[in-house]
Structure 1
Amino acid sequence: MPAYLKLRHDAGRGRWVLLAPERILTPDETAVAVLKLCDGKRTVEEITEALAKDYAAAVDVIRKDVLELLQGLADKGYIKA
């Protein structure tokens, strides 16, 4: 994730938020799981494999979801693909 994008837990509201310049996004649990793994070191494939293992799900299904999430963030200018 870029330095200007921060994933933080809002303890007062009991939810995760994604802080962007002049915006606060509230990702769902799936998005949070993906974003926690976006450390600038892992590839999309490594993130996909980790999530597939954690959720005992098919890699192809997880990959599709991860790519859709990341592409959506890139399309909105939050991250660079």
Structure 2
Amino acid sequence: MMHADRVTSVVPILSRHFRLQWEPVQDCFVLLYPEGMVKLNASAGEILNACDGKRSVIEISEFLENKYPDADGISGDVIDFFSAAEDKGWTHFV
């Protein structure tokens, strides 16, 4: 697990074993993998959808803060999410 102070400057990449997809039937983003599917909550789906392989964690946080100006504490939530996503093998950092 990466420390929060270091994770902000790295660029998250979706693991090659997963594919992010909007699932209309589920009305949410899902992560597909060979053995199944992970149904994501709205926040996780938005964060991973902003993960384009170019933006750093802090840039993703800033993007989401601009998209949702009424939401407080996005930066901390994004850092926590990517730390957990790395632990689950969903993402890695470059």
TM-score, structure 1 as length reference:
0.83
Can you list the C-alpha shifts for 1:7-52, whole angstroms capped at 9, x where unaligned?
1122233332111342311111111111111111111111000111
TM-score (norm 2): 0.73
Unaligned runs of 5+ in 1: none
Q: How many residues align?
A: 79
What residue identity is the alignment partner of 1:80? H
Name the structure 1 match of 2:29: 16
Higher normalized strand content (fraction of residues): 2
Q: Aligned-residue CA RMSD in angstroms?
A: 1.6
Structure-2 separation of matches of 1:41 and 1:69:
18
Counterpart residue identity of residue 72, structure 1: A
The gaps in structure 2 that reach 5 residues or longer are 1-13
Which structure has the higher relative contact order (CA within 8 Å, separation 6+)? 2
